[in-house]
Chain A
């Protein structure tokens, strides 16, 4: 069974700090990596995707991918209370037909 592992948290950071969310995956054939944010009682919404090793930045968010280590992370700079949510890591299966999701990490940003 291919798996995506995330620390469930909660991860607590003060407002303005950098939040670092981590994810490891077991399928070496995975090529596409996604970060979704899910507020309580809402559906997941896409934050970022990354396909290549290295960093990808979008505003306050940076996704980092290391395929050799099978590791993907999400950095949130200048964290805001509105960033408080559960962050889901998703990885495509080797067949490319579906996404495998982690359980998510709950982030709490205190003002």
Chain B
């Protein structure tokens, strides 16, 4: 285990539902990330938080709303998603901000949008 946990591990939701993904890191890291991994595509960075402050929003649609209440917890609130949003959503953390420090990944949430 990497010290990064994610819940739920699997989620099926309709397009009108509202749900949230949760990530928690037990590593004492300061930076946290949300990535989307779709089949045949590279990992896509969605959001970056450093010391609870959002430092990067990679042109993500507003139906994805992140929340970082403290350096250990990160949420991704989902509403009115589309079927093409079905993917593996990965959370990661690193000691410092993304470019030079190793990122440790959680197990991911497999999301299916019907």
- CB < 8 Å A-B pair total: 61
B62 at interface (Cβ–Cβ under 8 A)?
no
Dominant SS among interface residues on chain B: loop
Contact of A103 among B33, B42, B107, B108 (CB under 8 A): B42
Contacts of A51 in B (CB 8 A): 100
Contacts of A95 in B (CB 8 A): 99
Q: Are A44's CB and B42's CB within 8 A? A: no
- Cα A100 to Cα B98 in complex, Å, equals 10
Chain B interface extent, by class: 20 to 34
Residue interface bits B88-114, CB-to-A below 8 A is 1, else 0: 001000000111101111111000000
Residue interface bits A23-63, CB-to-B below 8 A is 1, else 0: 00000000110100000001111100101000000000000
Residue interface bits B49-65, CB-to-A below 8 A is 1, else 0: 00000011000000000
Q: Are B100's CB and A32's CB within 8 A? A: yes
Query: Which of A44, A45, A49 neighbours the largest number of chain B CB atoms within 10 Å of its CB?
Result: A44
Q: Are B40's CB and A103's CB within 8 A? A: yes
Nearest A residue (CB) for B96: A96
Contacts of A42 in B (CB 8 A): 107
- Cα A34 to Cα B43 in complex, Å, equals 14
Nearest A residue (CB) for B94: A99
Q: Nearest 7 A-B pairs (CB), nearest first? A: A92-B99, A96-B99, A101-B43, A43-B105, A98-B98, A101-B42, A103-B42
16 contacts between A and B (CB under 8 A): A4-B42, A32-B99, A43-B2, A49-B102, A93-B98, A96-B98, A96-B99, A97-B55, A98-B45, A98-B98, A98-B99, A99-B45, A99-B98, A101-B43, A103-B40, A103-B41
Residues of A within 8 A of B (CB): 4, 31-32, 34, 42-46, 49, 51, 88, 90, 92-93, 95-104
In the complex, given contacts A95-B99, A97-B99, what are 10 additional A-B residue pairs having Cβ atoms less than 8 angstroms apart?
Answer: A32-B99, A34-B102, A45-B105, A46-B104, A88-B43, A92-B100, A93-B98, A98-B98, A101-B42, A103-B41
